[in-house]
Structures are given as C-alpha cells and as structure tokens.
Amino acid sequence: RKEVEQDPGPFNVPEGATVAFNCTYSNSASQSFFWYRQDCRKEPKLLMSVYSSGNEDGRFTAQLNRASQYISLLIRDSKLSDSATYLCVVSAGTYKYIFGTGTRLKVLA
C-alpha cells in the first residue's frame, strides 16, 4: 500500500461546479498535511496547509480526518484557472514529506 494515495482523475467539471478530492495516508503518526498545486510542466506550489479543525481560503476548503486517515480538498465555484494537478503531501516528521501522485482537475468552459 502506498503511503499516500490519491485518485489520479482526471476530474472534468464545468465552470462554477463544486469538486472535492480525497487523499488517504497510511502512517498514523503523520503530523502535517498540505495541498500543493502543480500546473503542467511546472513546479509544485503550496495551495494550503491542512489543520485539524479544517480551514478555508477563499473558494478552497481543506479538512483532516485523523480517525480515518484522510484529508480532503473542496473547491467551490470552479474557475478555468483551477485546472491543474493537486498534490497531497503528508509529513511524518522533519524532512520526511511524502507526496501523492496527484489528482488532475480539468475545469471546462
């Protein structure tokens, strides 16, 4: 079993739709959780950290479920510019960041 698993997609959604991705992790000792965004042939960029109580940044909401060992990302009112690959990243300690393979999102006009 992979340490961090994501549905590769693609998720094809119309503009304005709400879409959600999940990411499961296997190490119950994981401490920090993040969502990164990666555009085609570009470097990953931090979208948001994920906190235990859940957190929101504009149209983006991230949640953590420690009991079931998954994190989620919800995107409301999808824009064409949201089309990208979303990487789930889990840390079990300093220096040890485990990247998921990413979920590809395509927002259609």
Contacts of 13 (CB under 8 A, 6+ apart): 19, 78, 105, 106, 107, 108
Which of residues 30 and 78 has its CB atom nearest to other proteins in the complex?
30
Contacts of 55 (CB under 8 A, 6+ apart): 48, 49, 61, 62
Choose one: 34-42, 50-58, 66-74, 75-83; the region binding other proteins (CB under 8 A): 34-42
26 makes contact with other proteins (CB under 8 A):
no
Which of 27, 32, 55, 69 is the binder for other proteins (CB under 8 A)? 32
Provide the H-helix boundaries in the chain.
none
* Interface residue list for other proteins (CB under 8 A): 4, 32, 34, 36, 41-46, 49, 87, 91, 95-102
